[in-house]
Amino acid sequence: MIQTCLMNLKERELKMANALKYMDIVDWTLEQISNGNYKPNDKFLSEAELGIKFSCSRQTVRRALEILEQHGYISRYKGSGTYISSDKTRPKINSVGIRHMTIGLVNTYMDNFVFPSIIRGIEDVISSAGYGLMLVSTNNLVSGETKALQFMLERQLDGLIVEPTRSALPCANLDLYQAFSQKGIPIVFIDSFYPELQHPYIALDDEKAGYEATKYLIKMGHRNISGVFPHSHRQGHLRYLGYVKAHTEFGIPIKEELVCWHSRENMNQILHSYQFLNQLSMSTAALCYNDSTAIMVMDFLRQNGKKVPDDISVVGIDNSELARIAGLTSVAHPAEHLGEAAAKLLLSMINGGEGKNILFPPQLVIRNSVRQIQA
């Protein structure tokens, strides 16, 4: 099943590569019109001629022509051909120059099981509006984000969607984000945000997700609940805050020895250590930052003769395919809806609308990884 998910991701990447091909045709056509090489009412190249010129399929050519027609740059007449529209029927080109109709997307991990659904949501919205998608991954490295932003700055973009890298740390790329602002390119953050920047963000309500998951464990009788969180991601801090609030609401003291903080670099080492096993042995349940972490914890428990949920209950966050396979109770991530909302907000901002933060409420999906005990 995991291999299938990765294959689906590769299919999405191929689809996005094809999208960039039709945007090449769109960009070239707009440049020819702007330079006066094609004037109003001139006959334009045929589908076959464009296919030869750009070495692409007829389907790709037709998608490009659909976008150009939607935006009023060409008119197609059955039996006659394609013609450049008159100036009066064309939308205004903005002050920056030719509108390339491309959205940039910077994400952390390509193999994140939530991310393909986010891409699907984004792409469905922007493609309907005639935009192409350009994707770059940071591999969750600050230096990777620097390179990704520099790459995007060199492209002709209408807007940018960014999944922040290590968002709990001070933003190391303020100058690059400022360069986008100076160019008038709107930015929307997804999943998290940098407090130093005022760009709107769209995310799961992480604090409430941590709260609802912990409250469920408490209502199932658990009082010694381990928390496993990454210290470099703002989502981890917010989910920890929800964990704390649920304990406080039910009058349960926080036991710091039951909270495990890890980083990207030492995650495997910490979550396979004797100290972590000792922490789990003092717990009846564990709230994990996400499903990937929860699966790792469950495997570690099994390797040490512990059963889930008989010996310890486990809850994750994301409700990914991994959670469904493993029977893991998890808080659902609104991945596709989040992508759609981010794309709609960015398109609104491109057209002069205001940016606003959107938080999706968490929904707990109960499976068989939690057992009820006597409090």
**Residue 75's CATH number:** 1.10.10.10
pLDDT at 13 exceeding the cut of 60: no
* Band of residue 6 on the pLDDT scale cut at 50, 70, 90: very low
232/317 same-domain check: yes
| Shared-domain flag, residues 62 and 211 | no
**Is 51 within a domain?**
yes
Count of the separate structural domains present in the chain: 3
pLDDT in tens, 151-199: 999 988 999 999 999 999 999 999 999 999 999 999 999 999 999 999 9
- Rounded to whole angstroms, the Cα distance separating 23 from 149 reads 20
Domain that holds residue 342: 102-204+335-361
Q: Are residues 183 and 35 in the same domain?
A: no
The most distant pair of C-alpha atoms in the chain lies apart, rounded to whole Å, by 81
Six-digit token string for 134:
């350009």
Residue 108 inside a domain? The answer is: yes
Q: What is the DSSP string of 72-114?
A: TSEEEETTTEEEEPPGGGSPPPPTTSS---EEEEEES-TT-SS
Q: Model confidence at 20, in pLDDT bands (50, 70, 90)?
A: low
Other Cβ atoms closer than 10 A to 255: 16
Are both 28 and 121 inside the same structural domain?
no
At 314-343, the pLDDT tens digits run: 999 999 988 999 999 999 999 999 999 999
Q: What type of residue sits at position 192?
A: S
Residue 18 has pLDDT above 60, yes or no: no
Q: Are the C-beta atoms of residues 271 and 297 closer than 8 Å to each other?
A: yes
Can you give the pLDDT at residue 259? 97
pLDDT bin (cut points 50, 70, 90) of residue 85 is confident
Q: What is the mean pLDDT of the chain?
A: 88
Q: Does 308 map to a domain?
A: yes
Q: What is the pLDDT of residue 296?
A: 95
Tokens of 72: 């009023």
Q: How long is the chain?
A: 375
CB 338 within 8 A of CB 121: yes
Question: What does the pLDDT average to over 16-39?
Answer: 77
What percentage of the chain exceeds 90 in pLDDT? 67
Q: Please identify, among 57, 89, 121, the residue that sits at the C-terminal boundary of a domain.
A: 89
Q: Per-residue pLDDT for 96 more than 60?
A: no
CATH assignment at residue 313:
3.40.50.2300
Q: Is residue 110 assigned to a domain?
A: yes
Do both 279 and 219 map to the same domain?
A: yes
Q: How far apart are CA 132 and CA 96, in angstroms?
A: 18
Global pTM? 0.76
119 with 105: CB under 8 angstroms? Answer: yes
- Pair (235, 329) in one structural domain: yes
Interval 266-288: pLDDT, tens: 999 999 999 999 999 999 999 99
The reply to whether 44 and 116 lie within a common domain is no
Give 302-316 pLDDT, tens digit per residue: 999 999 999 999 999
- Could you read off the pLDDT of 99-117 as tens digits, one per residue? 457 999 999 987 677 888 9
DSSP lists the bridge partners of residue 202 as: 190, 358
CA-based Rg of the chain, rounded to a whole angstrom?
A: 25
In a domain, 33, yes or no: yes
pLDDT of residue 206: 98
- Decide the pairing of beta strands 102-107 and 159-162: parallel
Residues 241 and 302 in one domain: yes
Please check whether residues 330 and 340 belong to one and the same domain.
no
Same domain, 178 and 216: no
177 and 30 in a common domain:
no
**In a domain? residue 248:** yes
User: Do the domain assignments include residue 9?
Assistant: no
pLDDT higher than 50, residue 1: no
Tokens read off for 114: 């939530």
* In a domain? residue 1: no
Do residues 297 and 211 share a domain?
yes
Helix or strand (DSSP H, E) at 206: helix 206-219
Q: What percentage of the chain reaches a pLDDT higher than 70? A: 90
Domain boundary (48, 65, 89) is at 89
